[in-house]
Amino acid sequence: MNVVSTSENGSAPVYREIAEEIRGRIRSGQYADGDRLPGENALMERYGIARATARQALSVLTNEGLAVAVRGSGIYVRLFRPLRRHGARRLSKENWGSGRAIWRTDSDTRGYEVEGLIVDEVVPEDHVLRALELPGASRVIRRSRRYLVDGRPVQSAVSHLPRALWEGDEDSESARRVRAHDSGPGGIYARLAEAGHAPARFTEEIRVRMPTPEEARDLTLFPGTPVLEMARTALTDDHRPVEFNEIVMDGSAYVLQYDFDA
Amino acid sequence: MNVVSTSENGSAPVYREIAEEIRGRIRSGQYADGDRLPGENALMERYGIARATARQALSVLTNEGLAVAVRGSGIYVRLFRPLRRHGARRLSKENWGSGRAIWRTDSDTRGYEVEGLIVDEVVPEDHVLRALELPGASRVIRRSRRYLVDGRPVQSAVSHLPRALWEGDEDSESARRVRAHDSGPGGIYARLAEAGHAPARFTEEIRVRMPTPEEARDLTLFPGTPVLEMARTALTDDHRPVEFNEIVMDGSAYVLQYDFDA
């Protein structure tokens, strides 16, 4: 380990201080959703700063998704409060075991919709087979959909379940439900449990990247908005992967939270 | 909940299939770090596709950080394998309790450096005071630094510790060490434990956004690379926040992994 020491004044640059002040006013409600923020000229006059500094202060807020620039008009407080997604809490057995939808357990009371649900059966891409520890040419039940909050698309998700889990059991209620539009109370995790494959542990992998043109369109992303890509694997207590879910989230719409013990 | 059903062929678009094939060749080592990938013309000829499709296939790989476009030259396999960061495992008490550095516990054997460490004492910004549940004008010990892997800056981190934790105990070894460049075996979590404030639980919040110009420079980010912003709070077993760490990561350099029980 090579520690290089530098000593300098550690205070925040001016543009960050100004951004923090505006941020405080947004959080306190002094600037409300949809309000136009002071522009570069107003900030230059108010704080006695250069145009570049004013621009940087505003870009902090737009980068954070707290404000959005409307070309030729100005910068507006963003009409969307990020969704807080609790990693462990939302997937706890008490939730899906009691028949609740996973989405309902996020600390948010906003209405949501599921749109464009497609259920089909396919031989998936290689990385899906690997994640599910399936041999080549195995078939999976695939559930694809988008989620909307307040009418705004916030994520798309493609869930894969090994078809073999219901081998010889195709007429059961759980086999029928995992292929139905309505997967029933508690969703597919409850159905997996009924079929003897209850998820006991989850692994979530998070990557961040710019969207493909297709994703930008599907999630109606503002230019310059990255996506969060999540790959979730559900495992039984004997470590068998029973679901692999690929989720693409509007990066400006989410705060992910994970709580864990030391 | 409003489920709108659409039925269509659910197979992956051609550009994703081509991207998957090239990705497979990168992962198998057929294309190695630094190799030039086939360009748009080569892909058009090889697969009989349109230029737009070839471009989309390549943009999937650059968006994923598996390849990087060098203007006027071509697209190259990226010379950097993402770091896998295990949320819970790396912060387990067995690690810092046994004197190991947190970084050593990531599943990666690459060398790392800490650069530009600054330790100072300040009254921090309001959101830091809130996170640490401190009254206004409270002072914190602040440790700022960058981490480099294989000489490449991958994250900057600013850790804040309430100064009051060492009130009346300023001459102790742990008080001295949290202000020193070398915080000693096990780092500041071991020092907090020695002072009677052992972290028992962590909360990590993850946001994603485009970098500020300053961050893009400090982390030497390629244009169009988002950052992961992590805010971590360490809590004692009686729920007192004892550290608040703000981390900005090169989004193309990391995969975050969280494992948790159902």
Measure the CA–CA gap between B114 and B156, rounded to whole angstroms.
9
**Residue where the block lists tokens 């139905």:** A180
Would the pLDDT of B1 be above 50? no
Q: Are A132 and A162 in contact (CB under 8 A)?
A: yes
Partners of residue B93 in chain A, C-beta under 8 Å: 262
Domains in chain A: ranges and CATH: 14-77 (1.10.10.10), 83-257 (3.40.1410.10)
- Among B13-27, B81-95, B143-157, the minimum mean pLDDT is found in B81-95
Partners of residue A213 in chain B, C-beta under 8 Å: 56, 59
Q: Which of residues 10-69 of B touch A (CB under 8 A)?
A: 10-13, 17, 20, 24, 56, 59-60, 63-65
What's the one-letter identity of residue A211? P
- Residue B2: per-residue pLDDT: 33
Q: What is the pLDDT of residues B84-140, one digit of tens each?
A: 888 777 777 777 777 766 665 554 667 788 999 999 999 999 899 999 999 989 999
Q: What is the pLDDT of residues B51-92, one digit of tens each?
A: 999 999 998 888 777 888 877 778 988 767 778 888 777 777
Nearest CB among A182, A214, A262 relative to B200 is that of: A262
Q: Is A185 touching B (CB cutoff 8 A)?
A: no
Residue of B nearest to A144 (CA): B10
Partners of residue B208 in chain A, C-beta under 8 Å: 208, 226-228, 251-252, 254
Q: Which of residues 125-164 of B touch A (CB under 8 A)?
A: 125-127, 142, 144
- Residue B9: per-residue pLDDT: 47
Structure tokens at B51: 């230029």
Measure the CA–CA gap between B29 and B109, rounded to whole angstroms.
19
User: What letter would DSSP give residue A33?
Assistant: T
**ipTM for the whole complex:** 0.76
Average pLDDT score over chain A? 86
| Nearest partner of B64 among A211, A108, A204, judged by Cα | A211
Q: What is the pLDDT of residues A18-58, one digit of tens each?
A: 998 998 898 777 888 778 999 999 999 999 999 999 999 99
The whole-angstrom distance between A146's CA and the closest CA on chain B is 10
- Residue A9: per-residue pLDDT: 47
CB contact (8 A) between residue A262 and residue B126? no
Partners of residue B88 in chain A, C-beta under 8 Å: 258, 260-261
**Residue where the block lists tokens 């998700």:** A157
